[in-house]
Structure 1
């Protein structure tokens, strides 16, 4: 069984990204790095020292979906059976990949014969706590794995043999919602998505944390609000997207607008991105944000 990994970079913190790549290079058979940064990080990360690696640089930022597709297609051409996806800020122990692969095979034999993707439990780098979904419940739980509606992309192990049937990541979304949409689409085709209960990975969720009225919430870059709000409208048109996801996102939209316009810095910029996202979502516009909409 040949296992490859795809790591997506965008203006990474170099020591953090280097630690991830050094760790990962010891655990996989093929390593594909896709850099969406304006300036290439190849020399800074000393990537020439890795065996069986390939580096792609897209200075104009093709988005996370297209970047993942570049990596997945390379792994397929390289003869990999399984592909792992990682963001630049994920961290895990030696033995992580082997444990995930072992659980993948075991789960298909005993629990979920149509398992197509498996991800680790996530520990938030900010709170140091394991993140468990509060609304979307598990579909079925076994000893060391749960069947779930979706998992995030970072740490996701995919059986590449089924990629052609399910399809690649949806580059129309560009960034937000890409991982969940693919999982929902895979489930529409009759496959299962799993969450490993005893395999953990540290990951940054958002750019930081704030508290208001006793509630802790994630803080992200203002431009991400454009994609988050727009993609709610784009995904809500699709029949295979869960109803709870549609209801929850539309229900909390007024609260998110309030939070970003009152409690966070760059209020007017955030408001403009949210409004533009709502407008473009209602008009069914997709892909990267237009250059005219990027101006503060």
Structure 2
């Protein structure tokens, strides 16, 4: 059993606590640091490997580095975690047991994640549109789960492929799930296991709807990757329709209702332009 933690300018105390908590629960831990400078953490552990990429290779490439390390270490499963997730000392074993149980009932389950509790609202995150494809007493199969808290069966990774590095960040987790489902695998959510996770940098409200607020550059990847993914045949139709319809609202809200309006507008316009032209990869490589 192994784990991958991806860092980007983390709050050091929180990142250190996560490393400490996870390292004692796994055989191998791979920390991928996309920060401009190496994060000043205590990483002196026999089962830990550390990679620093000052240029920020993106979350997909970072996860792929970690997954490759764990495959070389002969791990059978890999837990993916972001720096802003909170887990307890029993989380890894509990999630692994849930995957074993799910695979006993449905051998097509390749990955499982916990139910997510938003750190802003302290409430359970309930997808508005996502369909439950198969309901079991202990788990439910769904179309996609987020990457943080995702436990992957590495024995099947060769069949699904690694994460799509061309997307760089936004949509990476969902795209992999959809691709796995195209290969006749299932992804699941454990019904009775919870993880606190921070989604976005802040929250704002428009027309009675609360929405996530991220950094301006994330808007580039969000708008661009929506336009890239909507042209892939294995991406669910409901996801395409929902995101295309919401794009004008998000464009308006980020142009007129947030700080750094001009900067946000530039990133969104460039994201739309590159999305229409199918230009992927890093923002810095394109602009």
Output the TM-score relative to the length of structure 2.
Answer: 0.98
Could you tell me which residue of structure 2 aligns to residue 47 of structure 1?
Answer: 43
Gaps of 5+ in 2: none
Tell me which of 158, 170, 185 is aligned to 1:164: 158
What is the rounded CA distance, in whole Å, between the counterparts of 1:290 and 1:218 in structure 2? 24
Tell me which of 6, 10, 13 is aligned to 2:11: 13
Indicate the SS of the match to 1:290: helix
Tell me which of 53, 75, 78 is aligned to 2:73: 78
Could you tell me which residue of structure 2 aligns to residue 233 of structure 1?
Answer: 227
Could you tell me which residue of structure 1 aligns to residue 175 of structure 2?
Answer: 181
Indicate the SS of the match to 2:173: helix
Could you tell me which residue of structure 2 aligns to residue 126 of structure 1?
Answer: 120
Tell me which of 191, 194, 198 is aligned to 1:200: 194
Could you tell me which residue of structure 1 aligns to residue 82 of structure 2?
Answer: 87
Deviations 1:196-220 (A, max 9, x none): 1110001000001112332211100
Could you tell me which residue of structure 2 aligns to residue 190 of structure 1?
Answer: 184
- CA spacing shift, 1:45–1:290, aligned 2, 3 Å: closer
Indicate the SS of the match to 1:277: helix
Deviations 1:86-121 (A, max 9, x none): 0001001111111111111111112x2111000000
What is the rounded CA distance, in whole Å, between the counterparts of 1:292 and 1:243 in structure 2? 28
Could you tell me which residue of structure 1 aligns to residue 280 of structure 2?
Answer: 286
Could you tell me which residue of structure 1 aligns to residue 34 of structure 2?
Answer: 36
Gaps of 5+ in 1: none
What is the rounded CA distance, in whole Å, between the counterparts of 1:168 and 1:108 in structure 2? 21
- Measure how far apart 1:291 and its partner are: 5.6
- Measure how far apart 1:292 and its partner are: 7.0
Could you tell me which residue of structure 2 aligns to residue 135 of structure 1?
Answer: 129
What is the rounded CA distance, in whole Å, between the counterparts of 1:64 and 1:213 in structure 2? 32
Could you tell me which residue of structure 1 aligns to residue 64 of structure 2?
Answer: 69
Between Structure 1 and Structure 2, how many residues are aligned?
A: 287
Tell me which of 2, 5, 27 is aligned to 1:4: 2
